[in-house]
Amino acid sequence: MVAAASKCRVCRGPAIIDLPRHNAHFCAEHFLDLCRRQVMKAIDKFDMLTTADRVLVAVSGGKDSLAVWDLLIDLGYQADGLYVGLGIGDYSDTSADYARRFASERGLKLIEISLRGEYGYDVPTAARATKRVPCSACGISKRHLFDKAALDGGYTVLVTGHNLDDEAAVLFGNTLRWDVEYLARQLPVLPARNGFPKKVKPLIRLTEREMAAWCIVRGIDYIVDECPMAAGNKHLAYKAALNAIETESPGSKAAFYLNFLENMAPVLAAATVAGTSASGSEALHACSSCGAPTTGDICAFCNIVNKASAHEPVPVELVMANGRSKR
C-alpha cells in the first residue's frame, strides 16, 4: 500500500498508507484518526446524527457498511444493524455470514429480513417477473425494507455505507445527463417526512480504498466479491472514469462531489423553493396494499411482490445469461 521508507505525516513513524489527495502518508493510528475526523466532519456539517438518536445501519456484509457501523459505535453512537437477504445465490449467503459474524463478535444487534422468507421472492426472480434490470428490482426492495424496518423499529435515523466514490459516480451520471431533478435530490441527508425515516450517509468524505484500509487495520472481515448481478452497471464505468482522472490529478474526485454540495446544491435547493424545478412536487398518498407513501395506487414494492411471489424461482445465472444485466 506504501513505500517502505515512508513516514506518517503526524508522528513520523512508519506509514501504512499513502493518501495522494491529502498529499501525505499515515501510520495505522493516525489513519484511523483521519477517518474518524472525516466522519465527524460530515455528521456535523449536515446535522446527520446526535448521540440521542436511535440509529439503524443498513449492512450488506461489504467493507463500507461494516466500516460505517464500526465507526459509529467507535464514535459513541447507539447503532443496530439491518441485513436484507436479497436471495442473490451464494453471494447473499456469504454476505449474510459476514454481517452476522461482525455483529456477534461485538455483541451488536442485527435485524434480518429475508425477501424469499418473508415476501416469497428474491432479486433474480423479481428481475425476471417484472422485466426490470436486477439493480432496479433490488434497489426498490431495499429502499422499501430499509424504510419499513426503521419506522417499525422506532429508529430515528437510517444510515447507509455510501462513500465518496459512490456519490461522485452518481453525481457524474446525473451531470452527464444534466438530470436537474436528481441533482437537486442528491444530498447526504434526507429529512424524515410522512412515511419516510431520516436517511444519512456519513462516509461521503471517505473513499472505497480508505474504507477497505479501515477494515484491514481494524480486523474486520468483509465480502470482497462484487454482486454477480452488477455486470454492466453504469456506475462501475463512472467510477473507473473518475479514478482515471483522480490518478492524473489527486483530489479531483473529492473536489467534484464536495464542491457540488458546497456550491451547487444550495443553488438547486433555492431554485426548487422558487418553483423552477419539479423536484418532489408529486403528491404522495398511502399505498392501498401496504400503506407506504407512493404516487400511484400501489407502491413499486407491492407491485414487485405481486408479480414476483407468483413466479417460479429464477436462478441468478439464468437472468444474467439472458442479457438482463444491462442498466
Q: Which residues of 121-133 are buried (b: 16+ CB within 10 A; e: fewer)?
A: bbbbbbbbbbebb
**Number of helices and strands (H, E) in the chain?**
14, 10
User: What's the distance, Cα to Cα, between the start and end of the chain in Å?
Assistant: 33
Site for ligand FES, residues 158 to 217, rule: CB under 6 A: none
Using rule CB under 6 A, residue 169 touches ligand AMP? no
Closest to ligand AMP by CB, 162 or 324: 162
Main-chain dihedrals φ then ψ at residue 74, nearest 5 degrees:
-60, -35
Report the partner that residue 210 touches, choosing among ligand AMP, ligand FES, Zn ion, none (CB closer than 5 to 8 A by kind): none
Using rule CB under 6 A, residue 86 touches ligand AMP? yes
Q: If binding means CB under 6 A, how many residues of this protein chain bind ligand FES? A: 8
CB of 139 to ligand FES, least distance (A): 7
Report the partner that residue 161 touches, choosing among Zn ion, ligand AMP, ligand FES, none (CB closer than 5 to 8 A by kind): ligand AMP
Main-chain dihedrals φ then ψ at residue 157, nearest 5 degrees:
-145, 140
Using rule CB under 5 A, residue 206 touches Zn ion? no
Site for ligand AMP, residues 123 to 152, rule: CB under 6 A: 142
Q: What angle do CA 140, 53, 206 make, to 5 degrees?
A: 65
CB of 305 to Zn ion, least distance (A): 8
Closest to ligand FES by CB, 48 or 314: 314
Closest to Zn ion by CB, 98 or 214: 214
Strand ranges across the sheet with 198-200: 110-114, 78-85, 54-58, 157-159, 198-200, 189-190
CA–CA dist 29, 11 (Å, integer): 10
Closest to ligand AMP by CB, 15 or 200: 200
- The answer to whether the CB of 298 falls within 8 A of the CB of 287 is yes
CA–CA dist 254, 170 (Å, integer): 13
CA–CA dist 51, 72 (Å, integer): 10
CB of 79 to ligand FES, least distance (A): 24
Using rule CB under 6 A, residue 229 touches ligand FES? yes
CB of 264 to ligand AMP, least distance (A): 23
CA–CA dist 139, 123 (Å, integer): 10
Q: What angle do CA 9, 14, 18 make, to 5 degrees?
A: 55
Interface residue with Zn ion, options 16, 17, 27, 187 (CB under 5 A): 27
CB of 228 to ligand FES, least distance (A): 7
Closest to ligand AMP by CB, 145 or 314: 145
- The answer to whether the CB of 27 falls within 8 A of the CB of 13 is yes
- With CB under 6 A as the contact rule, which of the stretches 153-161, 192-200, 227-235, 288-296 interacts with ligand FES? 227-235
Enumerate binding residues for ligand AMP (CB under 6 A). 58-60, 64-65, 82-84, 86, 142, 160-162, 166
Enumerate binding residues for ligand FES (CB under 6 A). 123, 134-135, 138, 227, 229-230, 233
